[in-house]
Structure 1
Amino acid sequence: MTTYENVQQVLDQTVAETDIPGIVAEVRDGDRTWSGTAGVADLRTGSPRRPGEYFHAGSSGKAFTAAVLLTLEAEGRLGLDDTVNAHLPGVLDVNGYDGDKITIRHLLNNTSGLFPTGLAPEVSHRYATRSGFDRHRFDTFSTEELLRIAVSQPPVGAPGERFEYANGGFHIAGAIIEQVTGNSYADEVERSVTRPLGLAGTRVRPTAETGYPDPHPRGYSHQFLKDGADPAALTPENWQSLMEEPGLPPLDVTEFNSSAGYAAGNVVSTTSDMIRFFEAMTTGSLLPPAQHRQMWTTVSTEGGYWMPHTRYGLGLFEFDQGAPGGRALRGIAGSLWGSYFFAVGTPDGRHTVAVHTNTEWKSWDLMFKVIEAEFGISFGA
């Protein structure tokens, strides 16, 4: 059985055995490209998933933010070790934070000490339940509101002390980009990333846009709390126990306003474009050598309630087990309502697999099964 057949088997089994409606995968291995699908793009019509669909890439957009800031550093317009107060005076000087101690690097590698933004009541009370999501799915978040939310809870640690995944750090990073350049975040992503790489199917989603170009799958979500659960009681430790019971029908969440993602993840793309972007990030073909090294200077994610077996760079991650040739596999990933994407590949950019499901992240099983099928690497239980 070829590795492609192994991957297809993983896709088929995942759709058959879990509540994931559909999956599309694309593999680029040297000069060869393969695409596979399983399941449906639309539960109502039964239309199948197909290659080339547009989707929301979720937190994969963090790597776009990092790439823009590294480009600005290469241009001499800022430094990763600049403090936040050097560019946004006072924004962080509330609730126990210190903008003179938190740097841009801290924001990008999730060691700033900022709390997990998704647990902020201003966010969780809007979207935690099905009825709440339906009421608020078209709400628009301004940059100013996102910056207030980022510091609305006390720090979880000192700057540089430990890893804690925080969207708020990337919201602040996006505001720094706009302050330094005088341009919108979306314009700087286009200037520094999508245009140089020729990513014709990729862009930061405009604030007013709530749908996708065709072709695209419908998005479905089970990512809601049980009836009566208090979003204020959510913690990184207990959130799974408060989620809805399995077996309920999914909610169609295709149309919604994703402005809350901003610079922490609001990119719409395709598997082909994301492979091209990821390969540029892992090989260093977009950034100068000094900035490329910083992109892949990683920190431990241990204790940060994040993906096991990984270290985090600047918007991307590296696995702690070797790829063929003895070097660690690298990856990029993101999830939000109705969408989950990941790409994993070798550091030389020669071998990459990208996968999208039209529901949010369920567990790490799918990613690790795809890695084992395509690369022959098992991370165990």
Structure 2
Amino acid sequence: MAEFQSPGRPKVRAAIDSVVPELGVPSIMVQIRDEDGTWFGSAGVADTVTGAPRVPGEHLHSGSISKAFTAATLLQLEAEGRLSIDDTVDRWLPGAMAENGYDGTQVTIRHLLSNTSGLFATGMALEFQRRYLTRSAFDEHRFDVYQPADVLAIALSEPPVGRPGETFWYSNGGFAFAAAIIEEVTGNSLESEVHRTVVRPLGLKHTFMRHREETGYHGRHPRSYSKLYLKEGTRVEDVTPETWTTLMEDPSLPPMDTTDVNTSGGWGAANVVATPDELITFYTAMVTGGLLPADQHRAMWDTVDTAGTYWLANARYGLGVYQLTLSDGQVLRGGGGASYGTYTFTMGTPDGKRMMLVHTNNDWAAFPAIDRIIEAEFGAGGLRLEM
């Protein structure tokens, strides 16, 4: 595997080498782009059955990084004069949010993209939990296809967590409504508009947003592995912040291969597949203003505090993107995304001159693994969930 490893960066190399044996993850890979060029390093295996190594140019399912693609598409549409991010949901989708205590006449596109709409955390919807939070349920439902109406209904299936603009609350459902607005405004699919407004202008030849029936990749990719399941027979209604740790399955059980899965339930919030090079190119453009006009770039980075919201500590959220303040005060900008058994993190300095991507093909130790790499490269850590 030595032919795939770049020389130099001994602290990063040491951190990479520590992750697999100490945290028990299948693999980790790191790619860094700065004024000296591109650096690549990895440890562990992309496939625990074949022992295949991690290699440059792999295709990654980027999870919630897709939110930034959806946000950038809407901001491009605003720059084209086709909408305003201060338009309400009802302006484009009359009555679509008029249930269960929600009011689409008060929620704006800006609220959707900044996670301040009042929508609850869609990933905690009982419908999703029933389908995916035990191994047997996941295996039964892994190829379920969600239509747009299904996703919007799930996004409204629990009452609001607050009034629009009142507080940050991370919600995939806001990006489903954002996707629906894109399709209503343009008459085209979300996937084609992401390609037109973001992928093609940035020259991203290996980046695409999956259509709802798709489950695969267009090139070599690592397998994904998950261990975060409830014990078989657990009723999801019984899971609370006080009981969930006792209801999780034995952590010594072997991981489940979750590579082959339909992710259409994350419409607007997931489904982008890209290579590390192209994710770094994308985020460099988001950080520096290399894609969006000045007004839209400023709007993207008009951030809100996320403290006390069961999300990342030391973070501020913009429109589909966020910034992370490390323990020594350094600020990084970019984003991250989890999917079933995979986590991708792409961030760098606010001037875009040093950008780093970290990917690990697991979900049980992703945050501590990635934080080790952040600390090795930037001299301080800070990636942790706030509970």
TM-score norm. by structure 1 comes to 0.95
Q: Describe the SS at the equivalent of 2:184.
A: helix
**Correspondence 1:219-368 to 2 at 5 A:** 219-235=224-240, 239-321=244-326, 328-360=331-363, 362=365, 364-368=367-371
Instruction: Give 2:200's aligned residue.
Output: 195
* Range with greater deviation from structure 2 (154-163 or 362-371): 362-371
Instruction: Give 2:86's aligned residue.
Output: 81
Cα distance change on mapping 1:380 and 1:320 into 2, 3 Å: closer
2:64 to 59, 63, 81: 59
Cα distance change on mapping 1:362 and 1:89 into 2, 3 Å: farther
Once the two structures are TM-superposed, the CA of residue 316 in structure 1 deviates from its matched residue by 1.1
Superposed CA deviations along residues 117-138 of structure 1, whole A, max 9, x for unmatched, are 1111111101111000111111
Mapped contact 2:82–2:185 kept (Cα < 8 A): yes
Superposed CA deviations along residues 158-195 of structure 1, whole A, max 9, x for unmatched, are 11111111000000000000000000000000000000
Once the two structures are TM-superposed, the CA of residue 261 in structure 1 deviates from its matched residue by 1.6
Mapped contact 1:121–1:232 kept (Cα < 8 A): yes
Once the two structures are TM-superposed, the CA of residue 330 in structure 1 deviates from its matched residue by 0.9
Instruction: Give 2:4's aligned residue.
Output: none
Once the two structures are TM-superposed, the CA of residue 102 in structure 1 deviates from its matched residue by 0.7
Cα distance change on mapping 1:380 and 1:27 into 2, 3 Å: closer
Mapped contact 1:59–1:264 kept (Cα < 8 A): yes
Q: Describe the SS at the equivalent of 1:155.
A: coil
Question: CA-atom RMSD, angstroms?
Answer: 1.9
> For this pair of structures, how many residues does the alignment match?
378
Quick check: 1:139 aligned with 2:144?
yes
Q: Structure 2 CA distance, aligned partners of 1:240 and 1:167?
A: 24
Q: Describe the SS at the equivalent of 1:187.
A: helix
Superposed CA deviations along residues 170-228 of structure 1, whole A, max 9, x for unmatched, are 00000000000000000000000000001111100122222223311111111211223
Once the two structures are TM-superposed, the CA of residue 362 in structure 1 deviates from its matched residue by 3.1
Q: Structure 1 CA distance, aligned partners of 2:50 and 2:204?
A: 31
Which blocks of at least 5 consecutive residues in structure 2 are unaligned? 1-6
Mapped contact 1:236–1:305 kept (Cα < 8 A): no
Cα distance change on mapping 1:349 and 1:267 into 2, 3 Å: same
Runs of 4+ in structure 1 off by over 6 angstroms are: none
Once the two structures are TM-superposed, the CA of residue 265 in structure 1 deviates from its matched residue by 1.1
Q: Structure 2 CA distance, aligned partners of 1:187 and 1:55?
A: 20
Once the two structures are TM-superposed, the CA of residue 244 in structure 1 deviates from its matched residue by 2.2
Q: Describe the SS at the equivalent of 2:268.
A: helix
Cα distance change on mapping 1:236 and 1:270 into 2, 3 Å: farther
Q: How many percent identity over aligned positions? A: 53
Which blocks of at least 5 consecutive residues in structure 1 are unaligned? none
Mapped contact 1:119–1:235 kept (Cα < 8 A): no
Superposed CA deviations along residues 264-317 of structure 1, whole A, max 9, x for unmatched, are 111011111100000000000100000000100000101111111111111111
1:181 to 175, 179, 186: 186
Q: Describe the SS at the equivalent of 1:319.
A: strand
Q: Describe the SS at the equivalent of 1:343.
A: strand
Mapped contact 1:125–1:231 kept (Cα < 8 A): yes
Instruction: Give 1:42's aligned residue.
Output: 47
Q: Structure 2 CA distance, aligned partners of 1:301 and 1:167?
A: 15
TM-score norm. by structure 2 comes to 0.93
* Range with greater deviation from structure 2 (285-294 or 251-260): 251-260
Q: Structure 1 CA distance, aligned partners of 2:163 and 2:226?
A: 35
